[in-house]
Structure 1
Amino acid sequence: MPGDPIVYDEPPLSAFGLPDRVDPYAGVPDTVVHDVFRDTAGFLIAECARLALLATSEPERERWRARSIEVLDQRRYVAADDRAELRRHIERWQAEIDELRER
């Protein structure tokens, strides 16, 4: 009808090679999401190791070592096919990495 707004069906962002805002891993195989999960854990462990080396006291050094072990345990026990849990850890760990790098 004249005067009605024109409605366009927009293609998904992935059609343009852009990540989906809701799920940046949309269309990505679970194995790749698991690889990102493991890599993110590795980056966080490396940050904890850096902070342990820079620690000025033994309790602080032990705190960073303990956090590394926690991340290793979490990495070991999250199911490789639990996409939602993998994503939760990736997001949480990435935020923690960003925070630690600002120190």
Structure 2
Amino acid sequence: MTRNDRSEERYENVPTAVVYDTFAEMASQLTGRYLHLSESASSEEERDRWWEKVLQLRDEKRAVSSHDRDQLISHIDQWAAELKKLGTAGHG
């Protein structure tokens, strides 16, 4: 069973509206993390890189239909992995 299969199974009996809410919350958490990293960057270049990620995430979120369960779940998994990779220390 692949990671995506497990995710699909996890959301099997969950209404699409709730999946979308999870998607939106995950995007908000990741945006907050990127903003924190941008604000605490040690150089203007680093700050700009994190800000660019904020804008990319915004565009990604807007591009996903609220009814496309597969894409919603895929992004939830991607963004959760990114948050885990970045860690949550200092997240505010």
Q: Is TM more than 0.5 here? A: yes
Q: Which ranges in structure 2 are unaligned for 5 or more consecutive residues?
A: 1-5
Q: Which ranges in structure 1 are unaligned for 5 or more consecutive residues?
A: 1-20
Structure with higher RCO (Cα < 8 A, 6+ apart): 2
**1:43 counterpart = 2:29:** yes
Residue 73 (structure 1) aligned to one of 46, 59, 64: 59
CA positional deviation for 1:101: 1.4
CA positional deviation for 1:39: 0.4
Indicate the RMSD between aligned Cα atoms, in angstroms: 1.7
Larger Rg: 1
Q: TM-score, normalised by structure 1?
A: 0.76
**1:99 counterpart = 2:61:** no
Q: Which has the higher helix share?
A: 2
The 4+ residue runs of structure 1 with deviation greater than 2 A are none
Q: TM-score, normalised by structure 2?
A: 0.85
Written as runs of structure 1 = structure 2, the 5 A alignment for 1:79-90 is 79-90=65-76
Tell me the percent identity: 36
Q: When the two structures are aligned, how many residues end up with a matched partner?
A: 84
